[in-house]
Chains A and B, each alone.
Chain A
C-alpha cells in the first residue's frame, strides 16, 4: 500500500509537471467545448412552435396557414397538439414554444387573449417565434380580402407571454457531456500510450524491473493515477460547462455527481486498457501514434460527441452505436441531462464493461517489455 502511494504520488507530480499532458486532457477539450458552445451550432434548425387551436374557425385556420407558409420556407416548424402534450414537449425540449389560440379568437365583439409560452433559456428561438407570431396576427387582422369586415373592426386581441423553465438545454446541454466523454478517451489513450512508450524505450521500466516491486506494479500505479485524474478532469469539464455555458446537470440531484464519477471510472478504465494495449504492443512512438489516432479519430466524430448519432446514415449508426465512446457519451448524457439512474443505463454500462475485458485481454496478450 505504501509502495502504491509512493508510485501514485510520483506519477501525479510527473503528470502535473508535464504541460503537454495537461493541455491534452483539459485545455484542448474545454476550448473545443467553449468554441462550439458559444457559437451555438444548434441554430441550423428552425425554431419549433407547438399550436393548440381551441377556436378552430376560419380565422384561426388562416393564422395556421400563415405559420404553414413559414414552415415551407424552413423558417419555422409547427406541431399541432393538445395543451398538456405541448407542455410536456416544451419541458423536454422537443419544441421551443407553443401558442394557444383561444375559443373566441377573431369573434365579433371579442377581445381574445392569445397565450404564448416560451422556453426561458432559448432566447434566440423565443425572439424568432415572437416575430413570426406578431407579424402573422397583425397581417391577419389587417388583411381586407380574407377577414370579414365584422371581425376586422370589432374584434381585437392581446398576447400573454409565459416563460417556462424547462429541462431542455439545447445543443450546449448535449455538448458538455459529450466533450467530457471525449476527454476521458483522449486522456485514457494518449497520456498512457506516450508515457509508457517513453518509459519503455528509455529503459525506465527495465530499471524498475531490478527493484522488488517490478515494473508491473509501477504500471498499475500509473493506471490508478490516470483514473483519479480522469475523474477529476470530468468533474472540471462539467463544472466549466455549468459555469460558462449555463447548462444544468442532473435536475438538481446531487447524487448525479457520484454517478458521473462511477461512469468516468469505468470509461476511464476502458480507454486506459486500450492505451496499455497500444503501448505494450508498439516498440516506439512511430508505431503507436498512427494506431492511437486510428482508434480515437473515428470515435471522436462518430460517437455522438458533437451531434447526435441519429443524424448519420443508418450504416454508420449500426456500427457506431457499439463504439465504447458512444456508450460512454450516452451514459454521461443520460444521467446528467435526463436524470436517469445507473440502473436505467445498465445496457450502456454493460457495453463499456465488455469493451474493458476485450481491451484488457488484448493488452495482456500483446504486452512486450522491451
Chain B
C-alpha cells in the first residue's frame, strides 16, 4: 500500500458495470490534501457511481481506492469515520427537528463537533427547531452539509450540492464550501454546472460515459481549448446574466 502524503485520495483503475452498461470504465486519479476536486459530466456519466465507490457504499467490479492510505473495501469502517458524505438525494428523520437530527449523527461519531457550532456554520441556527420537510431547498442542502461535517472529516464528498437551487441559494452554498475549504478540508464534489466548478474547484476531471476525458485546473483546461484555436460562438461580456439577476434581486438570501 502506497501512502503518498500529498495524495489523500487515490483511485486506481475503477470499473463498475450495470448489466451491459459500463457506468465506470477504468477511472484513475489522485486528490491532493486540501484541494477541492471537481468531477464534471452530464447526467449518467458515472460521477455518482465513482463517488459512491470511493465512499465505500458501492462495490467496484475492478480496481481499488484509498483514502489516507486506507483501502475503501478492506478498511471500510475506518474510512467511514474519516469521511463526510452528502448524498445526491438526502432524507432525514421526519419527527426530529434540525438540532436533534445533527445531534443524532454527531453522537454516532462520538460527538466530535458541537451541534450549535455546526448550525452557526451553515447558518441554520434560527431553524434549529424546524422539521426537515419545513426547510427550503437551499436550507436542506446546508443541513446535509452540516451533517456531513459532524465528524470533522478529512475528506468531504459533495454530490451535486447545488442542483435545483436558485442563484442566491447557490451562492450561499458556494460561500459555505469556500469557508470549509479555508479550514483545510479536502473536498471531492460532483456537479454539472461549469461555472460552479470554475468558481470552486482547484482541479476538475471531466467524465463522460464512465471515462475521464480531461483532468486539469479549470484555467489550464480553458487555455488548452483556446490554444486549439477555439472561437466562442458569441462574444463574452464582462458580466453574465447570472450577475444581472443577482444585481437586480440582491446577493442576499431571502427567507432561505
Chain A interface residues (CB < 8 Å from chain B): 2-3, 6-7, 10, 13-15, 17-18, 198-199, 202-204, 206-207, 209-213
Supposing A2-B110, A207-B92 touch, asked if A10 and B57 sit within 8 A by C-beta, the answer is no
CB proximity of A13 to chain B, nearest CB, Å: 6
B-side interface size class: 20 to 34
Q: List chain B positions with a Cβ less than 8 A from chain A.
A: 55-57, 77, 80-81, 83, 85, 87, 89-96, 100, 104-105, 107-110
The DSSP consensus for interface residues of chain B is loop
Residue ID in chain B nearest A369 by CB atoms: B57
Closest residue of chain A to B110, judged by CB?
A: A2
The contact sample of 30 A-B pairs, CB cut-off 8 A, is A2-B107, A2-B110, A3-B107, A6-B104, A6-B107, A6-B108, A7-B104, A10-B96, A10-B100, A10-B104, A13-B96, A14-B93, A14-B95, A14-B96, A15-B95, A18-B95, A199-B91, A203-B89, A203-B90, A204-B91, A206-B57, A206-B87, A206-B91, A207-B91, A209-B57, A210-B57, A210-B87, A211-B105, A211-B108, A212-B108
Known: A6-B108, A203-B87, A206-B87. A13 touches B77 (CB 8 A): no
Indicate if the CB atoms of B105 and A17 lie closer than 8 Å: no
Closest to A212 in B: B80
Given A198-B94, A204-B92, A212-B80, are A3 and B108 also a contact pair (CB < 8 Å)? yes
A207 to B105, CA, bound (A): 10
A203 partner, pick from B55, B91, B100, beta carbons under 8 A: B91
- Smallest CB–CB gap between A284 and chain B, Å? 14
A residues near B104, Cβ cutoff 8 Å: 6-7, 10
In the complex the two chains form, is B87's CB within 8 Å of A204's CB?
Answer: no
Which residues of A have CB within 8 Å of B95? 13-15, 17-18
Docked Cα-Cα span, A199 to B91, in Å, equals 8
Q: How far is the CA of A211 from the CA of B102 in the complex (A)?
A: 13
Closest-CB distance, B19 to chain A (whole angstroms)? 17
Which B residue sits closest to A218, measured CB to CB?
B108
A222 to chain B, nearest CB (A): 11
Interface centre among A14, A198, A202, A210 (most CB of B within 10 A): A210
Are B80 and A210 touching (Cβ within 8 A)?
yes
Q: Are B55 and A210 in contact (CB under 8 A)?
A: yes
For A199, list chain B residues within 8 Å (CB). 91
